[in-house]
């Protein structure tokens, strides 16, 4: 069975993916300007500071937009198609791409409250996804 | 800057073979389009001293060096800005700036792609990667695709403004009508709103007929100073205004899914041209998807935000409508080799020259082109006018 493309952790992102493996959802907060950001970077995208802290996020958010995808963009998605591609606005503010899982795709709505869940895709890689809250 | 750009003109445009061209490489398509565009201008490859190109698929590294070498050109101005399908529209601004500053005399913008032949003649996914390095590792593992990204924008626009699939379909239907008037268009049979609505959903809310074609194609555009242009074969088409911007790379980072960078690049192009929306006779708006057009028309200010659906209703953009748009049949029905921007310029120039036969917009003097690249990420807007 083909796997979807999976992240290769690097300097900016290793801590995030390690936490995901441990079923923890962490995001970065800037110690200088106080803004949260997603995705993880080596600097703050609001003020360019390198003083970033990892914070345990609430794991709560709401659907900003979504699309039910009927065509697999890669052989690794063949078995899960149709799937829900979504943008979720986290309670902390930043937006991220994810999948909405554990529900009928037709039931997904913009504004729907969702909460993080962890998909252990392989022994090394866990993807944070979201399900109805 | 506005005055400097006005002293530059587009003097040659051409397409290569279009559609399915399995026996020619993307490099050859780019070079053959270049030869034809130089012929159109009455210039030769020996005259070219500025080169602007990018290839984003296999074999495209160091694009401008590679294409210069392929065609035997030694440019003294070179630009491989790579911001997706809008790159070629943005090159018009860059080339005009370089010519106006005396950094080069004859600028060649070229593009070639074998997007359909590369896939063994089929549309659909090509990605086989298993490991993702860099920020896209926060999108690709979730199954992001181009159509999926644009679908997110469409869904959000529908949610915020009540835009409907029927309204998006108006764009596909009108564009097909233009294609039926263009012998070079790939899809020429008329379609109806129902045909679009009944075509299969690829990524909700976008249907198959909301999506651009996948083809092979090359195109080229030649610019020089207005002074030199006046001695060449065809009537010069002046660069009256230009603007460029990008707001993000990945759709998850787009500040507002219902507004593109055209709100910036379009404003700049209008300001620099000293023209208003009412002055535009014909619009060539990059149509990777129907939603791309709707968002762009709003972002450019042809209508208010949220009113794009009403704006395109009743076949307003079709032949005979009061807003002629995508008059060669667009990426939806004419050709789309992965990056479409250069074809908006080619058609705009032909319209302004009055070369478009039975799809000619009567009396067209001023045209606007808007290219969109990435996932609604980058835009280039140019306004062109008869000398
Ligand atoms: Zn900061
Ligand atoms: Zn020879």
Q: What string of H, E and C letters represents the secondary structure of A6-46?
A: EECCCCCCHHHHHHHHCCCCEEEEECCCCCEECCCCCCCCC
Q: How far is CA B62 from CA B58, B65, B68, B278, in A?
A: 11, 6, 10, 41
Q: A63 to chain B: nearest residue by CA?
A: B156
| B142 closest CB neighbour out of A85, A95, A111 | A85
Give, as residue ranges, everything with CB less than 5 Å from ion ligand 1. A 30, 32-33, 44, 46-47, 49
In a domain, B156, yes or no: no
Confidence of residue B3 (pLDDT cuts 50, 70, 90): low
What is the residue range of B105's domain?
4-118+212-386
Nearest-angstrom CA–CA distance, B273 and B35: 30
The count of domains in chain B is 1
Q: Are B251 and B149 in contact (CB under 8 A)?
A: yes
For A98-133, write each residue's pLDDT tens digit. Answer: 999 999 999 999 999 999 999 999 999 999 999 999
Tell me the whole-structure pTM to 2 decimals: 0.96
Nearest-angstrom CA–CA distance, B249 and B83: 9
Which H or E run includes B197? Answer: helix B193-198
In a domain, B176, yes or no: no
In a domain, B189, yes or no: no
Nearest-angstrom CA–CA distance, B301 and B128: 40
The full set of domains in chain A, from first to last, is: 14-132 (2.40.50.840)
Which residues in chain B touch residue A70, judged by CB atoms under 8 angstroms apart? 200-204
| B148 closest CB neighbour out of A6, A13, A85 | A85
Give the phi and the psi of residue B307 in degrees, each rounded to 5: -100, 10
In a domain, B345, yes or no: yes
Q: Is B161 a catalytic residue?
A: no
In a domain, B217, yes or no: yes
**Which CATH number fits the domain that encloses residue B233?**
3.40.47.10
Q: Are B273 and B383 in contact (CB under 8 A)?
A: yes
In a domain, B135, yes or no: no
Average pLDDT for A27-50: 98
In a domain, B8, yes or no: yes
For B11-69, write each residue's pLDDT tens digit. Answer: 999 999 999 999 999 999 999 999 999 999 999 999 999 999 999 988 889 999 999 99
In a domain, B147, yes or no: no
């Amino acid at each position: 069975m083909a796997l979807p493309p999976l992240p290769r952790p690097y300097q900016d992102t290793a801590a995030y993916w390690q936490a995901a493996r441990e079923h923890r959802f962490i995001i970065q907060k800037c110690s200088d300007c106080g803004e949260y950001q997603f995705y993880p970077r080596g600097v703050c995208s609001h003020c360019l500071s390198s003083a970033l802290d990892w914070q345990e996020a609430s794991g709560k958010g709401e659907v900003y937009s979504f699309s039910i995808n009927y065509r697999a963009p890669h052989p690794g998605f063949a078995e899960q198609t149709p799937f829900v591609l979504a943008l979720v606005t986290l309670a902390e503010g930043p937006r991220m791409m994810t999948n909405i899982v554990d529900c009928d795709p037709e039931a997904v709505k913009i504004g729907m409250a969702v909460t993080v869940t962890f998909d252990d895709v392989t022994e090394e890689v866990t993807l944070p996804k979201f399900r109805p809250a | 800057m506005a005055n400097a750009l006005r002293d530059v003109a587009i003097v040659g445009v051409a397409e290569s073979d279009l559609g399915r061209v399995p026996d020619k490489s993307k490099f050859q398509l780019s070079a053959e389009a270049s030869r034809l565009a130089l012929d159109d201008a009455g210039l030769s490859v020996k005259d070219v001293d500025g080169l602007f190109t990018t290839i984003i698929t296999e074999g495209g590294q160091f694009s401008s060096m590679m294409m210069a070498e392929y065609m035997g050109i030694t440019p003294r101005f070179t630009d491989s800005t790579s911001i997706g399908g809008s790159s070629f529209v943005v090159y018009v601004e860059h080339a005009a700036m370089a010519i106006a500053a005396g950094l080069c005399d004859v600028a060649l913008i070229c593009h070639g792609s074998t997007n359909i032949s590369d896939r063994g003649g089929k549309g659909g996914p090509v990605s086989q990667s298993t490991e993702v390095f860099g920020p896209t590792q926060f999108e690709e593992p979730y199954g992001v695709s181009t159509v999926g990204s644009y679908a997110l924008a469409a869904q959000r626009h529908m949610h915020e403004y009540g835009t409907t699939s029927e309204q998006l379909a108006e764009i596909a239907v009108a564009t097909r009508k233009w294609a039926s008037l263009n012998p070079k268009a790939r899809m020429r049979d008329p379609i109806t709103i129902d045909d679009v609505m009944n075509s299969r959903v690829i990524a909700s809310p976008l249907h198959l007929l909301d999506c651009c074609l996948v083809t092979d194609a090359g195109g080229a555009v030649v610019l020089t100073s207005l002074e030199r242009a006046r001695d060449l074969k065809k009537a010069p088409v002046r660069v009256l205004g230009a603007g460029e911007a990008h707001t993000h790379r990945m759709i998850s980072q787009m500040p507002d899914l219902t507004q593109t960078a055209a709100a910036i690049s379009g404003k700049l192009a209008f300001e620099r041209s000293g023209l208003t929306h009412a002055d535009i006779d014909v619009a060539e708006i990059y149509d990777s998807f129907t939603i791309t057009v709707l968002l762009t028309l709003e972002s450019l200010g042809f209508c208010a935000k949220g009113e794009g659906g009403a704006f395109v209703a009743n076949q307003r953009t079709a032949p005979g409508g009061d807003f002629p748009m995508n008059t060669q049949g667009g990426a939806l029905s004419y050709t789309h080799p992965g990056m479409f921007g250069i074809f908006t310029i080619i058609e705009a120039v032909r319209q302004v020259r009055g070369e478009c036969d039975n799809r000619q917009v009567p009396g067209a003097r001023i045209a606007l082109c808007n290219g969109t690249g990435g996932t609604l990420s980058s835009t280039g807007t140019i306004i062109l006018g008869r000398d």
